[in-house]
Amino acid sequence: MPVTCIVGLQWGDEAKGKIVDLLTEHFDIVVRYQGGSNAGHTVVTGGQKFKLSLVPSGIFRPEVQCVIANGVVINPATLVKEIDDLRQRGVTVGKNLLISDRAHVIFPWHIEEDRLLDQQCGGEAIGTTQRGIGPCYRDKVGRAHAIRLGDLYRPGLRERIEHIARIKQRILQSMDGQTTISLDPAEIFAEYTQYAERLEEFVGDTTTYLLDSVEAGKRLLFEGAQGALLDVDHGTFPYVTSSNSSGVGVSAGSGVPGRYVTKVLGIVKAYNTRVGGGPFPTEQANEIGQHIRDRGNEYGTVTRRPRRCGWFDAVAARYTTRLSGVDSLAVMLLDVLSELPELKICVAYELDGRRTINFPSQMDDLRRVTPIYETLPGWQEDICQVRRMADLPVNARRYLERISQLLGRPVEMVSVGPDREETIFV
């Protein structure tokens, strides 16, 4: 399909990077449109493992144009390092990467603010990745203290950094007096000028480029970061990220109207995970959760925090499937569930004595729900070598069929291991 969007349907970490990498050969352009270096996309290719946070996963195919669009927030230090690391390992990064001059820039004050805010939340912490993502998006919406990538190349940058740094220093100090950071505007200006020089070859107007491209019938792949349950508007607020990480984010984050999107591929893990705070009805803080964590190596790509693990929540995934306009599904990490004697899928919630399949909008309600499970028999075989649906153990096929039924969408791909080859195309 000419314009396809890849969206995670859970709380992130659905292994979207692998799917994007697999599909890129069918596309001309791969676009990141929200999030920033809170994302960690792992791509295993040619026996090498790469961890990307800002550069689109399409970068491993030099003929593909990669775009970091306006909706992404950019830490230039992280981006420069990522580009250098890729180049050092033989990956081409040049004209094949275009970065929006409208994207907002993360500064040291954002990172410090993120740290202080999470400490002071007065309740369950959001548990952010502390990459300054939320404070940068807030400054974008607030406008007065925002600096966009394009601003780094305009006159008046030094004065703007001085002005904002002065205000930010006062704000940070007033936040409990806990800050140890001392913002030196001259140093920040010098540092950011260097980043600007390093990034200049990539910076441009991605909105016009993408509009020209869709109008010319080019094939675009939108690579979502995080997952739809972390969407700032439609997710488990306030335990969310600060961008629209469901399918609705594509237009605002790239400038490409939704009417051009011809297909949405929803990515789910065969179970659920969450990193950071917030309700998680099907969480298994027991040996089952540990089995999943160990086999699935469920530790954060960015922060290495152990991820919270639990059964597949079809109520939540059905909600995000509808919300993101999903056409079909890719079920990831199915191999992780091998050897469990039985598997559970949450098919409904009980709330105040009533059964519902609707996902609550209020987090205190989500905290109170009791998951209603269906139990399915597990499979004991190692399935990593399986390449055809028909060769999967019958219980694995039944498990996939039930997920497909509950979400009302066909399963198009199944992943049974991290490598490109370890994939079943249905």
Catalytic residue numbers, as ranges:
13, 41
Q: Which is nearer to ligand IMP, 241 or 272 (CB)?
A: 241
Report if residue 7 touches ligand IMP, rule: CB under 6 A. Answer: no
* Residue 245: CB minimum distance to ligand IMP, A: 8
Task: Single out the residue of 4, 24, 96, 241 in contact with ligand IMP (rule: CB under 6 A).
Answer: 241
* Residue 226: CB minimum distance to ligand IMP, A: 5
Q: Which is nearer to ligand IMP, 133 or 250 (CB)?
A: 133
Report if residue 127 touches ligand IMP, rule: CB under 6 A. Answer: yes
Q: Is 249 exposed, middle or buried (0-12, 13-18, 19+ CB in 10 A)?
A: buried
On whether the CB atoms of residues 154 and 266 are closer than 8 A, the answer is no
Q: Which is nearer to ligand IMP, 239 or 311 (CB)?
A: 239
Chain residue whose CB lies nearest ligand IMP = 276
Report if residue 12 touches ligand IMP, rule: CB under 6 A. Answer: yes
Q: Which is nearer to ligand IMP, 20 or 348 (CB)?
A: 20
Q: Which stretch binds ligand IMP (CB under 6 A): 35-43, 199-207, 327-335, 369-377?
A: 35-43
Report if residue 234 touches ligand IMP, rule: CB under 6 A. Answer: no
Task: Single out the residue of 5, 83, 210, 230 in contact with ligand IMP (rule: CB under 6 A).
Answer: 230
| Binders in 131-160 for ligand IMP, by CB under 6 A | 131, 133-134
Report if residue 39 touches ligand IMP, rule: CB under 6 A. Answer: yes
Report if residue 13 touches ligand IMP, rule: CB under 6 A. Answer: yes
Task: Single out the residue of 57, 65, 70, 129 in contact with ligand IMP (rule: CB under 6 A).
Answer: 129
Q: Say if residue 418 is preceded by a cis peptide, omega within 30 of 0.
A: no
Q: Which is nearer to ligand IMP, 366 or 396 (CB)?
A: 366
C-alpha 101/C-alpha 104 separation (Å) is: 8
Q: Which stretch binds ligand IMP (CB under 6 A): 36-44, 157-165, 314-322, 372-380?
A: 36-44
Q: Which is nearer to ligand IMP, 76 or 278 (CB)?
A: 278
* Residue 105: CB minimum distance to ligand IMP, A: 16
Report if residue 21 touches ligand IMP, rule: CB under 6 A. Answer: no
| Binders in 40-99 for ligand IMP, by CB under 6 A | 40
Q: Which is nearer to ligand IMP, 127 or 150 (CB)?
A: 127
Q: Which stretch binds ligand IMP (CB under 6 A): 181-189, 223-231, 378-386, 399-407?
A: 223-231
User: Mapped to the 3 state alphabet, what secondary structure does the chain carry?
Assistant: CCEEEEEECCCCCCCHHHHHHHHHHHCCEEEECCECCCCCEEEEECCEEEEECCCCHHHHCCCCEEEECCCEEECHHHHHHHHHHHHHCCCCCCCCEEEECCCEECCHHHHHHHHHHHHCCCCCCCCCCCCCHHHHHHHHHHCCCCCEHHHHHCCCHHHHHHHHHHHHHHHHHHCCCCCCCCCCHHHHHHHHHHHHHHHHHHEECHHHHHHHHHHCCCCEEEECCCCHHHCCCCCCCCCCCCCCCCCCHHHHHHCCCHHHCCEEEEEEECCEEECCCCCCCCECCCHHHHHHHHHHCCECCCCCCECEEECEEHHHHHHHHHHCCCCEEEEECHHHHCCCCEEEEEEEEEECCEEECCCCCCHHHHHHCEEEEEEEECCCCCCCCCCCHHHCCHHHHHHHHHHHHHHCCCEEEEECCCCCCCEEEC
Report if residue 242 touches ligand IMP, rule: CB under 6 A. Answer: yes
Binding site for ligand IMP (CB under 6 A): 11-13, 38-40, 126-129, 131, 133-134, 225-226, 230, 239, 241-242, 275-276
